[in-house]
Structure 1
Amino acid sequence: MTSSTVDSAFAGQPDEPHASSLAGRLNWLRAGVLGANDGIVSVAAIVVGVAGTGSPTSAILAAGSAALIGGAISMALGEYVSVSSQRDSQRALIEKERLELQTDPAGELIELAGLYQARGLTAETALQVATELTDRDALRAHLAMELNIDENDIASPWHAAGASALAFLIGGILPVLAILLPPETIRVPVTFTVITIALAITGVVGARLGGSPVARATMRVVVGGALALAATFIIGTLLGTSGVV
């Protein structure tokens, strides 16, 4: 097979998993699903707990709003700090590699060839591959092989923070609406039902994105969320009936 044939075949399959941005998109989708799931469970647990005390709708609305805003800000701050630390570390590694290429290009070429040889290529082929990649973009070749980093694909902490907060808000608004819209006599059962369905959906989506068994992953999410809601509702009911609140 000639090189032109390989290039043509590769160009004709843009949606295959070897597309460079696919892994990044999947990571963002998984993070969004997890953020929405956090919003669903945490906000639902709070509003159900407050409802269990027998508090009026205004108190439930206040608690749900506080949980929404506080949770979204907390998620955004956590993601910003985490991604900022990761970005700083990646940038430091990139600059270190750039300096090594400037000061010892021959040694870096030998190192890259050795890495390809360790992957199973013959010494001659490994040196040829390393040479061609170095001639094209030495820094990119070393970052990809040594550190699995793409210089042009470093996550933005601001984007990560915004996406995390938005995912939490989207998930968290659901239990607030579910607890406030139905009549008072059935709002808790309705909320339990709505949240169970929502968790099942996020469980299925997360499992498919992660390539894990759908039934097992979904069951974990649903059971965990149901236990959280049941626990807060029982605690809220006990506090309400005891006269503490």
Structure 2
Amino acid sequence: MPDTVPGTHEAEPHRDIGGRLNWLRAGVLGANDGIVSTAGLVVGVAAATVERGPVLTAGVAGLVAGAVSMALSEYVSVSTQRDTERSLLDKERRELEDEPEQELAELAALYEAKGLSPATAMTVAEELTASDPFAAHVDAELGIDPDALTNPWQAASSSAVAFVSGALLPLLAIVLLPASVRIPVTFVVVLIALAATGTISARLGDSPARPAVTRIVLGGALAMVVTYGIGQLAGVAGI
């Protein structure tokens, strides 16, 4: 009999890599959110006033608020996912205790659906059940590793760090530069950063880079143009 069975150990490395890529992709998207939202905010304020204080205050406030919002949203989302996973695992434990024969037949049917013959599928199901029935069923039926459930605190902190890392770029660019050049230079810096995050995101998703970069760069440019126009109007009106 082969050392690996479809849907069990052979799939674990791929699932682990997929999970890491998802986390990395989420980090890139979080940084991208930080870049766009903060850039739009500070460019809008800088268009209304040449004073550094209001720009810095607005940028820092936006950075903190955005990081907290991202972290809270991620915590709630991942906590819900973790609760769902635990509920499914508890349900599977109860079914194994109450209906072991039906669960064995169900496991065999899953492997038969993957392409094994009925006899081989039943043999695999019986051997895996004899070894660790719970692990065999949650892997084949749910695709969940009970020892690697999602961590809401880790997700929240990662999301906040990613947002802050992205938000610092436009904030530092517009605060540290002279008033005469800070807006155009910030535009350029932000668009370059967005092109980089778009490229990374596309490569992680194994998709063409050009459409992803075009979308994110145009979106970021539009956000800054709109907030710049609003800032100009507010400055002229003396708001």
Q: With structure 1 as the length reference, what TM-score do the two structures score?
A: 0.91
Query: Which shifted more, 54-63 or 78-87?
Result: 54-63
1:66 aligned residue (61, 64, 76): 61
Is 1:227 the counterpart of 2:222? The answer is yes
Contact 2:50 2:179 in 1 (8 A): no
- Displacement of 1:192: 0.3
2:87 equivalent among 85, 92, 98: 92
- Who is 1:177 aligned against? 172
- 1:156 matched to 2:160? The reply is no
Distance 2:222 2:131 in 1: 56
Q: CA deviation at 1:20?
A: 4.2
Q: Which string of whole-angstrom CA distances, capped at 9 and with x for unpartnered residues, describes residues 68-108 of structure 1?
A: 11100000000000000110011000000011111111110
SS of residue in 2 equivalent to 1:185? coil
Tell me, in whole angstroms, the C-alpha distance in 1 between the residues paired with 2:36 and 2:91: 43
Question: Residue 146 in 1 paired to residue 114 in 2?
Answer: no
Given residue 84 of structure 1, which amino acid in structure 2 is its aligned partner? Answer: S
Q: What is the Cα-based RMSD across aligned positions, in Å? A: 2.0
Q: Superposition pairs for residues 22-101 of structure 1, below 5 Å?
A: 22-101=17-96
Q: What is the match of residue 233 of structure 2?
A: 238
The answer to whether residue 202 in structure 2 is matched with residue 207 in structure 1 is yes
The letter for the 2-side match of 1:218 is V
What is the total number of aligned residue pairs between the two structures? Answer: 236
1:126 aligned to which of 121, 126, 144:
121
Change (3 A) 1:185 1:55: closer
Gap runs ≥5 in structure 1: none
Residues in 1 aligned to 2:42 and 2:130: alpha-carbon distance in whole angstroms = 60
Percent identity at matched positions?
Answer: 53
Q: Distance in 2 between matches of 1:175 and 1:50?
A: 13
- Verify the 8 A CA contact 2:34 2:167 in the aligned structure 1: yes
Partner Cα separation in structure 2 for residue 224 and residue 241 of structure 1: 26
Q: What's the CA shift for 1:120?
A: 2.0
The code of the aligned residue for 1:43 comes to T
Over 2 Å off, 4+ runs: 16-20
CA separation in 2, counterparts of 1:49 and 1:98?
Answer: 56
Secondary structure (helix, strand or coil) at the match of 1:184 reads: coil
Q: Distance in 1 between matches of 2:12 and 2:173?
A: 39
Work out whether 1:110 is the aligned partner of 2:114: no
CA deviations on 1:122-154 (whole Å, 9 max, x unpaired) are 111111121122222211221122122111121
Per the TM alignment, residue 56 of structure 1 is displaced from its structure 2 partner at its CA by 1.1
